[in-house]
């Protein structure tokens, strides 16, 4: 989508402005080393009953020195050093149990001369995520005599992860919490990649191909420590910010594959997640609450300067993480990985590849009248109130219910007093076709009682009626369960003189916060339906079925009815957002 690509340019690129100043003659004075260094610390929650702290592992430090310009801390736990210009620093120690660390502060004076002081501290950390460590490394979980989950191994356990190019959002970006509030006045999108979520197959085989063969290797050792190695095959995919690419000699301006050495093994520590997820309004969202911190500037495949990643979700085969851009604090980046080499099960062997019709929804305002028309009111053309499905809404062509803005079509169902309004648009009389591939990239409404649909009817529907015309539901989602989507075909069975249908459903993750790709491939031999390029439905086509003539496209959000079910009493409005519709033949 052209407009979307332009939006991406704003967030993916940074322009550095350099100002020149006339060089002046300088005369260096004496080199002065800091003296009288003092280093004090406080273990959070330390008292007589908890001499090593409250289990959070947090320790605050304060350093002073005569003639010091800045301070650097080395915490003795294999994490990155921390700069502290005023001498104050806070650090979370994450090794589970009671551990001792030798903490050193280095004071820098005039001319770069340094002095240092060290202190030995003992800290109790209660945080652990046994399951995440097991999933990451493949180490088995067992139980001790008390029935507590433990990992007890005599040799290192190693597991390799790969970019999951089969998933929407395998690379994505959205606002940080602070930027989200700045944009909207309240938290709204900071928990998903609302700016950009890469569709399946976006980078592999293109300019970001070096992103695709990365191997992320996690090793859990018998002593409980974890190591991480990124095998990037010599090349890393860098974000286009010039400040990011400078470390590899890049000039910035666009994302790029650059030669970069990632052979250093990082230590991985685990800590409670640092983001406040309590502000997320979506009840279906649930973060794990675990953060991974990599030493030695380790990172997970795509370079944005960060070494801390919050785990959103993890299973034995899937890993979904979020990190904040180290240069631009407004951006939160998302990555999806899989334990299967080559990504997930993607079916890209489509029959039809020639694009013959599309709407990218790049012109703001009402939908393009050369491509779309409307169904209006509460009654279908045969006089069936509730559109034959006991639906509660009245369809309108009002901008409040249907509009193109910010590069997307938005169909919004609204509560109007005690009634409901929504929109249903169609290509009837403007465009229809026989056989082909239909692709629709969309986000779905999340509210109970909403019934979104992407579907087709036979062009002879006004004369033969339903279901003789045939109906193909590329995507429907029921109002009482948003964890799956359905694909269905309806027809009239002449042999049995009855209405007939065949449907299947498939699970879906984050349907309302992430764009997903809904695809139909329709030939004279079969009707196949896909979610994110993975097939889950097939009906054998034949001359006895009505699926061999022209059909037209329909997009709508219904309320209640046979598939919408009970509507949430607190419902006010919800939206189906469509990025594009494409037809291939």
Quote the strand ranges of 344-483, DSSP E: 355-359, 373-375, 393-395, 402-405, 408-416, 419-422, 424-426, 436-443, 450-458, 471-476
* Fold assignment, 355-584: Jelly Rolls (2.60.120)
CB atoms within 10 A of CB 60: 13
Which residues make beta-bridge pairs with 414? 421, 573
- Locate CATH 2.60.40.10 in the chain: 35-125
Catalytic site includes residue 476: yes
- pLDDT tens readout for residues 117-146: 999 999 998 888 999 999 999 999 988 888
**Measured between alpha carbons, how far is 23 from 25 in angstroms, rounded to an integer?**
7
The answer, yes or no, to whether residue 392 has pLDDT greater than 80, is: yes
Of the candidate ranges 60-74, 296-310, 347-361, the one whose mean pLDDT is the lowest: 347-361
Say what the pLDDT of residue 348 is. 55
**Measured between alpha carbons, how far is 156 from 578 in angstroms, rounded to an integer?**
47
Task: Categorize the per-residue pLDDT at 30 as very low, low, confident or very high, splitting at 50, 70 and 90.
Answer: confident
What the block records as the tokens of 6 is: 């332009």
Task: Categorize the per-residue pLDDT at 82 as very low, low, confident or very high, splitting at 50, 70 and 90.
Answer: confident
The answer, yes or no, to whether residue 505 has pLDDT greater than 80, is: yes
Q: Report DSSP state, residue 387.
A: G
Say what the pLDDT of residue 147 is. 82
- Locate CATH 2.60.120.200 in the chain: 355-584
The answer, yes or no, to whether residue 4 has pLDDT greater than 80, is: no
Q: How many helices (H) and strands (E) does the chain have?
A: 6, 39
Chain mean pLDDT for the chain:
89
Say what the pLDDT of residue 208 is. 55
pTM: 0.54
Say what the pLDDT of residue 289 is. 86
- pLDDT tens readout for residues 373-388: 999 999 999 999 999 9
Q: Which of 471, 486, 514, 521 is catalytic?
A: 471
Say what the pLDDT of residue 148 is. 81
Residue 549's φ and ψ, nearest 5 degrees, are -130, -170
CB atoms within 10 A of CB 458: 25
Q: Which CATH superfamily is domain 35-125 in?
A: Immunoglobulins (2.60.40.10)
The answer, yes or no, to whether residue 23 has pLDDT greater than 80, is: no
Catalytic site includes residue 189: no
**Measured between alpha carbons, how far is 405 from 291 in angstroms, rounded to an integer?**
36
Q: Which of 391, 476, 486, 514 is catalytic?
A: 476
Task: Categorize the per-residue pLDDT at 22 as very low, low, confident or very high, splitting at 50, 70 and 90.
Answer: very low
User: In the predicted model, what is the mean pLDDT of residues 451-472?
Assistant: 97
**Measured between alpha carbons, how far is 81 from 70 in angstroms, rounded to an integer?**
13
Q: Which of 54-58, 67-71, 205-209 has maximum average pLDDT?
A: 67-71
Say what the pLDDT of residue 133 is. 94
CB atoms within 10 A of CB 78: 16
**Measured between alpha carbons, how far is 549 from 555 in angstroms, rounded to an integer?**
20
């Amino acid at each position: 989508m052209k407009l979307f690509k332009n939006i991406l340019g704003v967030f993916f690129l940074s322009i550095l402005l350099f100002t020149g100043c006339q060089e002046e003659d300088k005369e260096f004075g004496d080199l002065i080393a800091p003296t009288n260094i003092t280093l004090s610390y406080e273990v959070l929650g330390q008292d007589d009953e908890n001499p090593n702290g409250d289990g959070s592992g947090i320790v605050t430090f304060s350093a002073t020195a005569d003639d010091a310009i800045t301070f650097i801390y080395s915490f003795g736990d294999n994490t990155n050093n921390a700069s502290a210009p005023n001498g104050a620093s806070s650090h979370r120690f994450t090794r589970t149990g009671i551990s001792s660390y030798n903490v050193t502060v280095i004071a820098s004076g005039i001319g770069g001369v340094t002095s240092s002081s060290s202190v030995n501290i003992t800290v109790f950390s209660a945080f652990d995520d046994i399951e995440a460590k097991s999933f990451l490394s493949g180490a088995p979980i067992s139980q001790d005599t008390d029935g507590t989950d433990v990992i007890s191994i005599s040799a290192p356990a190693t597991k390799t992860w790969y970019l999951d190019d089969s998933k929407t959002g395998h690379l994505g970006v959205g606002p940080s919490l602070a930027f989200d509030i700045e944009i909207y006045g309240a938290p709204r999108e900071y928990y998903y990649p609302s700016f950009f979520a890469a569709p399946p197959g976006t980078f592999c085989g293109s300019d970001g191909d070096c992103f695709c063969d990365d191997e992320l290797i996690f090793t859990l050792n018998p002593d409980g420590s974890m190591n991480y190695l990124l095998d990037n095959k010599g090349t890393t995919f860098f974000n286009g910010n010039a400040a990011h690419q400078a470390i590899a000699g890049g000039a910035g301006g666009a994302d790029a594959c650059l030669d970069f050495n990632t052979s250093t093994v990082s230590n991985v520590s685990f800590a409670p997640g640092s983001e406040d997820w309590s502000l997320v309004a979506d009840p279906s969202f649930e973060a794990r609450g675990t953060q991974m911190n990599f030493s030695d500037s380790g990172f997970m495949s795509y370079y944005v300067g960060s070494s801390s990643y919050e785990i959103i979700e993890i299973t034995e085969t899937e890993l979904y993480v979020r990190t904040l851009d180290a240069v631009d604090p407004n951006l939160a980046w998302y990555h999806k990985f899989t334990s299967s080499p080559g990504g997930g099960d993607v079916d890209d062997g489509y029959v039809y590849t020639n694009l013959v019709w599309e709407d990218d929804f790049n012109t703001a305002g009402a939908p393009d009248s050369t491509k779309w028309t409307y169904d209006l009111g509460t009654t279908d053309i045969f006089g069936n109130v509730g559109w034959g499905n006991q639906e509660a809404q009245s369809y309108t062509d009002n901008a409040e219910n249907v509009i193109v803005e910010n590069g997307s079509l938005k169909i919004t169902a609204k509560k109007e007093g005690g009634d409901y309004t929504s929109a249903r648009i169609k290509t009837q009389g403007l465009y229809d076709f026989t056989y082909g591939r239909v692709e629709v990239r969309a986000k779905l409404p999340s509210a109970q009682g909403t019934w979104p649909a992407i579907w087709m009817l036979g062009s002879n529907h006004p004369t033969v009626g339903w279901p003789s015309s045939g109906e193909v539901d590329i995507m429907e989602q029921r109002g009482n369960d948003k964890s799956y989507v359905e694909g269905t075909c309806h027809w009239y069975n002449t042999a049995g003189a009855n209405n007939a249908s065949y449907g299947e459903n498939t699970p879906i993750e984050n349907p309302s916060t992430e764009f997903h790709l809904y695809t139909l491939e329709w030939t004279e031999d079969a009707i196949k339906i896909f979610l994110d390029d993975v097939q889950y439905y097939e009906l054998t086509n034949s001359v006895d079925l009505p699926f061999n003539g022209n059909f037209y496209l329909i997009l709508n959000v219904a309320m209640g009815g046979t598939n919408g079910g009970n509507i949430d009493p607190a419902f006010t409005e919800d939206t189906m957002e469509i990025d594009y519709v494409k037809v291939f033949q």
